[in-house]
Amino acid sequence: MTLLSLHGIRKSFGAVDVLHGVDLSVAAGEVVGLVGDNGAGKSTLMKTITGIYRADFGSIEFDGKDILALDPGQRRELGIEMIYQDLSLAKQQDVAANIFLGREPTKKLFGLFPGIVDKAEMDRQAAKMIERLGAHLPSINRSVGSFSGGQQQTVAIARALTFNPKLVIMDEPTAALAVREVQSVLDLIRRLKSEGIAVILISHRLNDVLSVTDRIVVLRHGRADADLVTAKTNMNEVVSRIVGGGDISAAAAHEQRG
């Protein structure tokens, strides 16, 4: 069943055309790798899905609904979450504040004043989520900025998973991580898939992409240039699709060494 489908998405910033009509579809529970050179438009495309950018042309359907006119908050409500490359955390706020940002549970104070944020409930759920991810943080009440990169990543992941998403977009989730942490992110992606959650993985680490995805979409010059089934492709083909001709064998050999 198709969860997300994009048709003819175009986006330009002033005179610079970034996306020239991208088609992309993702099924429920499917893991799709999105690869491409720097400047191919990967992040821009993802931000048109989350609603941070509004597409100039084209259509976006999610779960059978046209979501083109919805703002980022409404799209999150429908179940689209994204883990940004820069993590997009509010670094002076604590763990629970970040996880629940924009969706704080509220209660009535003395049964009278509505809209009081239920901090105790937030802390409880945040701690539970962090534990479920098998992560350890020094303290849940500390500002996120005092954590290490991996710990901050945990918070960003917890935020994306707390509200039962249907689609999780990950932008370079492993770029800044140590080897062991990379494995746990890949394990997490497999776990999400087994729970029926679709994942779009943007990564330059093609080994990661090849090991965890069902399909690989290559974005090149603002178009979806190739749509490969992971089981039927290999490093060489992916690399050649990314660089599009030129000295393919040298690039592929380099990737394999890396």
Query: Under 8 Å CB-to-CB from 201, ≥6 apart: which residues?
Result: 31, 32, 33, 34, 170, 173, 189, 208, 209, 212, 213
CB of 63 to other proteins, least distance (A): 17
Query: Under 8 Å CB-to-CB from 204, ≥6 apart: which residues?
Result: 35, 172, 175
Query: Distance (Å, rounded) from C-alpha 188 to C-alpha 258?
Result: 23
Q: Residue 138: what residue type?
A: P
Does position 104 interact with other proteins (CB under 8 A)? The reply is yes
Does position 143 interact with other proteins (CB under 8 A)? The reply is yes
Does position 178 interact with other proteins (CB under 8 A)? The reply is no
Stretch that binds other proteins, among 11-19, 100-108, 179-187, 250-258 (CB under 8 A): 100-108
CB of 115 to other proteins, least distance (A): 5
Helix segments in the chain, DSSP class H: 42-50, 72-78, 95-99, 119-132, 149-161, 179-194, 206-212, 235-243, 248-257
Does position 106 interact with other proteins (CB under 8 A)? The reply is yes
The tokens describing 111, both together, are: 């049964």
Query: Distance (Å, rounded) from C-alpha 65 to C-alpha 58?
Result: 14
Query: Distance (Å, rounded) from C-alpha 156 to C-alpha 154?
Result: 5
Does position 11 interact with other proteins (CB under 8 A)? The reply is no
CB of 218 to other proteins, least distance (A): 26
Stretch that binds other proteins, among 59-67, 77-85, 180-188, 213-221 (CB under 8 A): 77-85
Q: By C-beta, is 94 or 208 nearer to other proteins?
A: 94
Q: By C-beta, is 84 or 186 nearer to other proteins?
A: 84
Does position 146 interact with other proteins (CB under 8 A)? The reply is yes
Q: What is the binding site for other proteins (CB under 8 A)?
A: 50, 52, 71-77, 82, 84, 86, 88-94, 97-98, 101-104, 106, 109, 115-117, 119, 138, 141, 143, 145-148, 159
